[in-house]
Each structure stands twice: as structure tokens, then as C-alpha cells.
Structure 1
Amino acid sequence: MKVRERVATARARAFEDEESAIGRGLTLLAAAVAAALVAPLGWLLVDVFALGSRAFSLTVAPQTLQVLVRSVALVGAVTAGSVLVGVPLAVLTVQGDLPLKRFWTVVAALPLAIPSYLGAFAAVSAFGPRGALADVLSPLGIQQIPTIYGFVGAALVLTLYTYPYVFLTTRASLLSLDASLVEAARTLNASRWAAFRRVTLPQILPGITAGALLVALYTLSDFGTPNIMRVEVFTQFIYARYNAFMREYAALLSLELFAVTAVVLALESRIGADDSGAYGSSGNRGAFDLDLGLWRYPAALLPALVGLVAILLPIAIFGMWFLRSGPGYATGSMAFSWSYGLNSVWVALLAAGASVLVAVPIGLRSATSDSWAASLADRAPYVGYAAPGIVLAIALVSFSLDVLPWFYKTLPLLVFAYVVRFMPQAIGSIRTSRLQVDTGLVEAARTLGRSRASTFRSVTLPLVLPGIATGAALVFLTTMKELPATLILRPLRFDTLVTYIWRVQEAGLYGAAAVPALALVVVSGLSMAVILAQEQRTD
């Protein structure tokens, strides 16, 4: 018996030593990968130092401060508008007795599948000075309509395509709400509004805040929509300086934009996720039903109106571009080629594959270790995820020109940018899948004499494979829509769907954008289908 015990003890120690050595190696690998991903962002400081004393004067220049104030004001307006639209829609689709409730839920969520710059493109085509509405009103003697361009137009368009962030997070909070609290307030003679204000609102406030902060981050980093709507914000200001060969100034502005983003993220971490699980839908635990009576039919007009303006209008405009011909719609030398679509798919596949390869060691290690190195390797890549696309692109331009000039304007650099920008999506998915693996299964395989590699291949990998696939799909879909990084970093004569849409938009050749715009909407809609399918499984 003593001999057997000694053998068992020695085997256990060997296993522990092996686990410890491999674990340390995996942690070091994850940390090195994370550092390599984040390091190019620090190159912005090198360019800023080159400005010397001019850096401060440029930072406080009146034009810079005006753009900063305008950007922050746009963030505030869009965030407030998204809350005003998203919260009522969430309440109606969860607690209200709307007719066709599931249908209106899908309608309310779908605008998130349409890139906001395509929505802005469609809005200008419909409501611009020479748009479809002006053509309809002109025979009636109405020669001028209010302009869609400017701050108000940009705020309206961004609100239409970002409110689903608030809608989805608020809806998740409502689905996990304990109905007995609301019913208790009602039995104490509290009115419906009083019960909502005193009981429901405090419970769902973390979900509302989470969605609002996502809207703020998106608005702050958006490039296409403000450009199309002719309102100068930080992203356009940076792009203009970059195109004017003012690389150092663009780097300074990029750091300022990143600093504002960091403030928003700090606010998110303070308000952050609540401890009550408001973010996760754990089933409708008997959520309080709101009897609207005859008002349920007028109430259905809200999601119907939003769906009409945010979904049907762009699709109708794209269809009109496709069918219509004449001045302003001729393609000329900028004819659409399906090679642009193939380029989009190819680069998105490369980004998804590379992101998974990088994310696997980080995600697996962060799920199985609580060491500071593993935690740092897990959180560091989110710096790239938080950086607006144009900031990341400017940083990589500076880094490649100064350190790796042969890397500049190449496909590997573009793929690297996508990995830095979107790889945390894969990390989160892989880490979550690994946390759900029963450690008893892994330990059982090890005690049966299987090596660590064999155990991972036969036990762990099949269980985390769905998370890997989900992470790859998320990276693929977000890469397809990315605009500023693609515009700045793509190789010469390498067009994708988004860059082609951008070129014809700037040239006013609306008809040429019809097919790629519709294709991009279909591909983007796949991401929304994944979200809704997940909610369907948890309802």
C-alpha cells in the first residue's frame, strides 16, 4: 500500500509540475501576444513628442476645442435620443401586450444590423436637397425643404442606428426583473407610473446605462456618418489632417480622442455591471405585464415608425438606386465588381482566423488562471478594442513607416489592424466557453494517463469549439463593416465593399452603391440573427 501511495503521490506531483510549467509558458505566451498587439498604439507618443512645444498650443487651439465640444455634444445628443427611443421600446416589447410582440421585437432590434454610414447615405438620398422627397414635392411648387445635413441630421441618423444597444440591454434587464416587487408596489396603491419609477427603473438602470455607454463609444468613434452629414467631429478632423500629410498633428488628435474614449470607459467601469444580474436574461421570472387596453394599437406605431424609417427606407433607397438610371447614377469608370465583395470576404476570413489563433491561448489561460499576468494578458487587448478605428489606423501608419516600412500599406498590416481592433470579441467568447467546461472531465482524463495535449484535443477542444466558432463569426462580421481603418490601411488598388461604397458616395454615384450596400446589409444582418437566436434560447 505504501508503495502504491508513493507512486500515486509521485504521479500527482509530476502532473502538478507539468501543469505548472505549461501554465507558466501559456501565460507568458498570452502576455507576449497581448503586448505585441497593444504596442503600436504607443507609437502615437513618438509622433507627438516630435511636435515639441507646439503640442500644447495645438491641443488648446480654438479650432481643436470647437471640434472637441461638438463631438462631445453629438455624443450627448445621440445617447439621450437612444435612451428616449430604446427604453420605451424595451418596456413595450417585454411588459406591454402589443399585438405581434415577437415581430416588433425583431423590428426594433434590426437597425443595429445596418451600418450607420449606410443609413446616412440613404437619408441624404431621400431627404437631401436633390433627394427623392425633393423630387416628389417639386411638382407641387415646394422648391426647398429643411436640410438634412448638419448636427441635427447626424444626431437623428446615429440615434436611429444606435438605440438598439439601449433597447437590447434594457430588454435583458426587464426579462430578469422580479415581478413580485412591482406587484407589491401596486398592492400598496402605487400607480403604474409610480411603480415604474420607484421599483422598475432602479432595477433596470444598470442595463440602460450599459446600453447608453455603448452608444456613446460608438458615436465618439464613428467616422462615416458625420462625414456624410457634413458635421465636423474629431474623427473627420483627424482624417483631414492625415490626408494633409500632417501626421504628427493627426497623432496628437488621435491621443486626445483616445483620452476622451478612456473617460467614457472609466465611467462605464464605475457604473458598470450590477451584481443583480441585470445584464443577463435568466428568463422572464413572471415579469409584470402592462395592460395597455386599446392603447396597444397606437403603441405599436412606435416600433412600426422606427422600422419604417430605419429599415424599409434604406432598403427602398438601395432598390431605387439599383433600378434607376440617369445623371448621378451612371457608374462610369467606377463600375462595381464582385471582386470587391471577394476581397471583403477574404480579408474578413483572414482576420477571423488570425484573431482565433491569437485569442485561444489568451482566452484559455485567463479562464483557468487568476494570476496577475494572465489577467493582464486578458485585459490588455481591450485597449485596442476601445481605440476608435481611425486612432488605431493612424498609430499603425506611424509605426509601420518608422519601424517596418516594408509593412506599410500591405494586406498583413490591414489584417493586423483588424485583429487588434476586434480580437477581444473572440477572447470573450472563448473564455466564456472554457469557463463552462466541467473541470472534473479534464481531471478524469488526466488521471487515466492521458497527456495534457491529448486531454485538450479529446475533451476540452470539442467543448470550447462552439465558443471559438462564435468568436470567429463575430470578428468576421465586424471586419466586413469596418470603414476608417480599411480606408487608411488598405493596399493600393485593393477595394472592399465598404471602400467602394465610400468612393462612389464621395463621387455622388448613388446607383453604383446599390448592390454592395444591399450585400453589406445582408451580411451585417447575420450578426443580429445570432443575437436574436441567443435570446430565443434564453427566453
Structure 2
Amino acid sequence: MTRGEGLARWFERRAIAVLGVATALVLAVLFYYPVLTVFADAVRLGGAWNFEVAREVLTDPFYFGVFAPLFDGDLTAVSEIAADQPLGLVGFTAYQALLSTIASVALGLPGAYVLARYEFPGRRTIRSLTILPFVLPSIMVAIGFYAFFGANGPVNDLLAALGVGRLSMLGTLEAIVVAHAFYNAPLVTRVTTAAWESVDARMVETARSLGANPWRAFRDVLVPQLLPAVLTGALLTFVFTFMSFPIVLALGGFQLATVEVWVFSLVQQLDYAEAATLAVVETVVSLALTYAYLTYESRQSANSRAANPPPRKRFFPSVSADAGSLIAGLERAAILAYATVAAVVFVGPIASMVVESVTGPNGLTLQYYRFLVQRQVEGASFQTLPGVAVRNSLLFGAATLLVALPMGVTVSVLTARGGRWERLADTAAMAPLAVSGVVVGLGMLRGLVFGVELFGHRVQVDGPVAIVAAHAVAAYPFVVRNVSPLLGGVDRSVVESARALGATRVRALLDVELPLVAAGVAAGAAFAFAISIGEFDSTVILATGSSSYTMPVAVERYIGNRTLGPATAMGTVLLAVTSLSFVVIDRLGGRWEV
């Protein structure tokens, strides 16, 4: 055996361990180091420890409202602060997240009921579409809300035609809450539908046989089985909306700023210490909530029951007593009313953006698209060029896929069995879900982009590399969440049989396990690419002052110039590229719905 063959055999036997170490090192450099850099910025000034900025932030009523005196030990100012600004910036962030969570649950639960209890044409397609908000760039959705609820949007046109008067919704908390519901209600619908399809209907039948009426059986038997999924969706929604950035920035601006938006503002002002302190506060809150979610999810998985869902009813039944009953008719009328509301919230903004991009003061026009073409052909290098944005987005997406997919599969392999150490590793690997892109982008800017002294040499990375790194960190947890559950469900006897026949651990993984979970791998790949295409939070920080901007950043810059027409045109291009990319990866990789 040659030396090269020996090394190859050695690597094949230890490939999983080597990949695990490599993934841990990548996470340490691309995630934990930047985040710790932000933490250090909060308490180090001029190379020395200094807690003065942190103390000023914690005791400032602007940030913590009535809780600020608690950090200062002076309770005499509580009543005065309560009358002036009781919530503070952090409190307002939690308040809008709570309202957004309530709206998302209220909008998502009826959808889960319809999908779980009724059979109708297109049901599977609609169920699959509940995943789309996760791949739609948030800045694009903000553009859609501008077009839909704006002064000259279809909502106000309809209200004016009815003589009700125009609605001024943009720049309000209501607009932010509805936009958050657009993103997170489908999440609530999806997790609750999955739970509803996994309930044990025999328990309901037993309760009915013992004399319980339908409402009592629903309340005492079915609700306890669904409540964990509802709470999971609500907790995730709160985490996501607490860290929301593009939606709040576009629809609320600095008048309705959250912690994330204010951190971005402080970074623009080069006030890194104060920005870092706020980022630490936000990260601690989101990490605590994410840990609670992962712990709760683990407990529910351990207590899961065998699925025996009740049969679904036909929404359009043949002529029967059920079809003519009053209760069934009222129920279907309520469902149709809900479908109308859902269509307004989910379809209206996106359709309005597309329509707005081809509508001018005098009717249909392509002038906004011509503007994009002219900007690309004639624009100066310091301007935002659409072609450069599209090229960068596609290149960054492909590079992100190459990094995030192996990382996600490796973490899935190492954590799929669900033991104590595996759960600990899973929690550490899922930390990027709880840390906002603004924090990661700020950490990379302050650390990797500005440069690090290492063994007497200054090590720096350029903007594109940092952007790909930030995108990979944001994307790979979604690969894990798609692949890990399927790997955990693979029959271990099949893998053991392959090992007994002489296959190494990595060969069994490549030839047996991954083919069995190909749908999850394809789903993870689609998510990774689409998330990179739409990532805005870290990109807007790392692309400042460079030509590394992407399509979402280009859309935001056009909004910033108050040129809604070109912004909607760029948003439509972003929608087309995102959808096409997702479909291509879906077709190449197989079914992505799991």
C-alpha cells in the first residue's frame, strides 16, 4: 500500500470526526469570534476594560424605560419615567414582538384547521406554499406593503371608492405587525398542521363514547395535543420578530425603531461601543428564548405519540345531509371569509409590487425597468447598478451553498441520535438562529474586515468573503433542521448491515443514509441558496461603501431615494430570481417538502 493510499484509508475511517472538527473551527471563526468581538466592544474602549458605556446604556430610560432606575439603584425616578417613556426601546421591541406573535397565531391557526381537517383541490400545493415566506426576502415584502397600503395603493383606492376615506397605514405599528404576520403566520400554520396530522384520534373517539360533546372533546383531548405546536410556533415567532430589522426599518423607520434598527443607526454613526452594548442585550434575550425553544422541542419529541389523525372532510362534498346542515354551512362561510383575509395579507402585497412595477401615472409602462437598464448601462461606479446586484447575489448564493450544505449535513450527522452530548452540540450549532444578522455583520466588520493581529501579521478578509461567511452562518441551521430529523428516523439496522459488510462510517453515510434523506438535503440546499439571495441584515453593514451590494441592498437604496417605481421593479427582479433559483434547486435535488 502506498503512502497516499494509506492516508486515503485513514481519512475515510475518520472523515466524520475530521469534518466535525473542521465545522467547529469554521463556526468558531465565522460566528463565535465575530459575536464575541461585539461583546468585547461593549466593555473595551481603547484597548482597556471600560464598563462606562454599558452602564450608561443600562441606566438610560430611552433604552430601558421604567427598568433603567433598577440598574442604577435609584427608584425615585420610576414614576416620572413611567409617565414619559415607560417601555423604552427594549420594551417597545418586546411589545411589538408580542403584538406580532398574537397576530401571527390568530392568522395562522385557522389555516392549520383548514389544512388539517379538510380535503379540497390544491390542498397539498397550499400546504407547500406555507414555506415560501422563509425564502422571500423581507425587504421585498416591505416594498410590497408600500405598494399595497400606500397612499395610491389598491387598499386606499378601494376605500376611496366606497366613500370610507383613505387609510394612512405606512409608518405605523399596525403596518409592522401585519407585515410580521405575513412572515410568521405560515410558520404557525405549518407546525400546527403537522401536529394536527399527528394527533391520536382514538383519544377523541374514546372521550365522545364516554359522553363528552364535540366542544368538550376538542377542549380536553385535542387542544392538549396541539398546544405544544402552537407554543412552539408562538415562541419562534416572538424570537424572529424581536430581532426583525428590514421590515421595521422600511415600514416604521427610526420613529418606530426597535433594538435592531437602533443598532444599525449607531453603526452608521460609528458609535460601536453603544451599538455593541445594545447588541449584547438583544443577543442575551434571543439566546435565552431560543434555548427555551430547543429544550421544549426536545421534550415534546421525547413525548411524541404515534400518529392516528382523524379523517379529513371534503370541503365540497356531494349533496348530503352534512352539506345542507346549518353548522356545516356556517363553518364553510367562516373559512371562505378567512381565505379572503389571508389572500389580502399574503397575496395582496406581492401582487401589488409586481403591478406597481409596470404602472405609471398614465397607465401601463416599462419605464421603471428601462430606468434599471439605463442605470446599468450608463451608471457610474459609485451608483447602485442592478446588474452588479444580480451578479453578486447569484455568486454569493452559490458560494453560500458550497459552505452551508456540508456544514449542515455534518452537524446533522453528529446530532441526529439525540443523546445528551448530541443535544448540547445541537444547541451550540443552532446559536446562529438566535443571533441577528446585524450582530454577526457588525462582528465581522469589527473583526475580520478591519483585521486581526495574528502572530505579528494583520489578517483581513475582504467584503465579498465576509458576506458569504455571514450568509453561510445564517443558512446552515436551516440545512440542519431539514436533514437532522430525517437522519434520526433512518433505520439503524440498515446502516449497521452496511458496516457489517465492510463499509466505513463515511461510506455508509454516502451510500446508505444520505440517499434515504435526499429530500431533506435538497430542501436544505434550496433554503441555503434562497436565504443567501434574500439576506439583508448582515449584508447592508458589510456592503457599505463597496461594490459588494446584493439585490436586497439595492432595493433598500432605491427606497431610500424615495423612488418607489424602480424599487418595485428591482423587487420584482429579486422575486423572479429567488423563485427561479428555488425551483431549479428543487428540480435538481428532488422533492423539497418534508
The answer to whether structure 1 residue 62 and structure 2 residue 61 are counterparts is: yes
Shifted more, 509-518 versus 81-90: the winner is 509-518
Contact 2:416 2:487 in 1 (8 A): yes
CA distance in 2, matches of 1:25, 1:452: 12
Q: CA RMSD in A?
A: 3.9
Residue 466 of structure 2: aligned partner = 413
Q: Give ranges in structure 2 of 5+ residues lacking alignment.
A: 1-9, 65-87, 316-321
2:38 to 38, 44, 53: 44
Shifted more, 332-341 versus 162-171: the winner is 332-341
The verdict on how the C-alpha distance between 1:314 and 1:253 changes in structure 2, with shifts beyond 3 A counting, is: same
Contact 2:478 2:528 in 1 (8 A): yes
Contact 1:176 1:281 in 2 (8 A): yes
What pairs with 1:420-435 in structure 2 (closer than 5 Å)?
420-432=473-485, 434-435=487-488
Deviation at 1:535, TM superposition (A): 9.5
Give the secondary structure class of the aligned counterpart of 2:358.
Answer: helix
What pairs with 1:129-528 in structure 2 (closer than 5 Å)?
129=151, 131=153, 133-134=155-156, 145-230=167-252, 231-275=256-300, 282=307, 284-286=309-311, 292-295=327-330, 296-324=332-360, 337-367=386-416, 372=421, 376-400=424-448, 401-403=450-452, 407=460, 409-432=462-485, 434-435=487-488, 439-440=492-493, 442-444=495-497, 448=501, 458-459=511-512, 462-463=515-516, 467-490=520-543, 492-522=546-576, 524=578
CA distance in 2, matches of 1:85, 1:476: 28
CA distance in 2, matches of 1:285, 1:198: 16
The verdict on how the C-alpha distance between 1:297 and 1:279 changes in structure 2, with shifts beyond 3 A counting, is: farther
Q: Give ranges in structure 1 of 5+ residues lacking alignment.
A: 1-16
CA distance in 2, matches of 1:27, 1:535: 25
CA distance in 2, matches of 1:370, 1:178: 27
CA distance in 1, matches of 2:536, 2:310: 41
Letter in 1 for 2:480: I
Shifted more, 18-27 versus 50-59: the winner is 18-27
The verdict on how the C-alpha distance between 1:85 and 1:429 changes in structure 2, with shifts beyond 3 A counting, is: closer
The verdict on how the C-alpha distance between 1:94 and 1:245 changes in structure 2, with shifts beyond 3 A counting, is: same
Deviation at 1:431, TM superposition (A): 3.9
CA distance in 2, matches of 1:485, 1:363: 25
Residue 92 of structure 1: aligned partner = 114
Shifted more, 148-157 versus 17-26: the winner is 17-26
Residue 32 of structure 1: aligned partner = 25
Contact 1:111 1:311 in 2 (8 A): no
The verdict on how the C-alpha distance between 1:197 and 1:499 changes in structure 2, with shifts beyond 3 A counting, is: same
Deviation at 1:379, TM superposition (A): 3.5
CA distance in 2, matches of 1:89, 1:192: 20
CA distance in 2, matches of 1:346, 1:514: 23
Contact 2:148 2:352 in 1 (8 A): no
CA distance in 2, matches of 1:466, 1:263: 32
Give the secondary structure class of the aligned counterpart of 2:571.
Answer: helix
Residue deviations 1:59-80, cap 9 Å, x none? 2211112110110001110111
Shifted more, 119-128 versus 458-467: the winner is 458-467
Letter in 1 for 2:534: K
Shifted more, 352-361 versus 96-105: the winner is 96-105
Shifted more, 45-54 versus 188-197: the winner is 188-197
CA distance in 1, matches of 2:216, 2:498: 57
Shifted more, 67-76 versus 277-286: the winner is 277-286
Residue 13 of structure 1: aligned partner = none
Deviation at 1:498, TM superposition (A): 0.6
The verdict on how the C-alpha distance between 1:22 and 1:392 changes in structure 2, with shifts beyond 3 A counting, is: closer
Residue deviations 1:435-474, cap 9 Å, x none? 4555555555555556666666555565565544432222
CA distance in 1, matches of 2:242, 2:265: 17
Larger relative contact order (CA 8 Å, sep ≥ 6): 1
Letter in 1 for 2:54: A
Residue 12 of structure 1: aligned partner = none
CA distance in 2, matches of 1:113, 1:451: 37
Residue deviations 1:8-29, cap 9 Å, x none? xxxxxxxxx9998666655544
Contact 2:136 2:534 in 1 (8 A): no
The verdict on how the C-alpha distance between 1:279 and 1:350 changes in structure 2, with shifts beyond 3 A counting, is: farther
CA distance in 2, matches of 1:34, 1:427: 14
Give the secondary structure class of the aligned counterpart of 1:495.
Answer: coil
CA distance in 2, matches of 1:267, 1:310: 30
CA distance in 2, matches of 1:385, 1:76: 19
Residue deviations 1:363-406, cap 9 Å, x none? 3344479684x665543221123211111111111212251776
CA distance in 2, matches of 1:141, 1:338: 44
Structure-2-length-normalised TM-score: 0.76
Contact 1:92 1:98 in 2 (8 A): no
The verdict on how the C-alpha distance between 1:282 and 1:524 changes in structure 2, with shifts beyond 3 A counting, is: farther
Deviation at 1:536, TM superposition (A): 7.4
CA distance in 2, matches of 1:127, 1:392: 32
Contact 2:451 2:461 in 1 (8 A): no
Letter in 1 for 2:476: M
Contact 1:104 1:304 in 2 (8 A): no
Contact 1:203 1:278 in 2 (8 A): no
Contact 1:108 1:306 in 2 (8 A): no
CA distance in 1, matches of 2:103, 2:495: 49
Structure-1-length-normalised TM-score: 0.83
Give the secondary structure class of the aligned counterpart of 2:221.
Answer: helix
Contact 1:426 1:470 in 2 (8 A): yes
Question: How many residues align structurally?
Answer: 518
Q: How high is the sequence identity, in percent, across the aligned residues? A: 22
Letter in 2 for 1:500: A
CA distance in 2, matches of 1:403, 1:84: 48
Residue deviations 1:189-209, cap 9 Å, x none? 444333222221111001101
Deviation at 1:415, TM superposition (A): 0.9
Shifted more, 105-114 versus 208-217: the winner is 105-114
The verdict on how the C-alpha distance between 1:474 and 1:117 changes in structure 2, with shifts beyond 3 A counting, is: same
The verdict on how the C-alpha distance between 1:104 and 1:513 changes in structure 2, with shifts beyond 3 A counting, is: same
Give the secondary structure class of the aligned counterpart of 1:177.
Answer: coil
CA distance in 2, matches of 1:525, 1:277: 36
Deviation at 1:282, TM superposition (A): 4.8
Letter in 2 for 1:392: V
The verdict on how the C-alpha distance between 1:84 and 1:281 changes in structure 2, with shifts beyond 3 A counting, is: farther
Residue deviations 1:339-381, cap 9 Å, x none? 4223211101101101123344443344479684x66554322
Give the secondary structure class of the aligned counterpart of 1:272.
Answer: helix
Residue deviations 1:28-49, cap 9 Å, x none? 4444344334232111222112
What pairs with 1:4-23 in structure 2 (closer than 5 Å)?
none
Contact 2:441 2:537 in 1 (8 A): yes
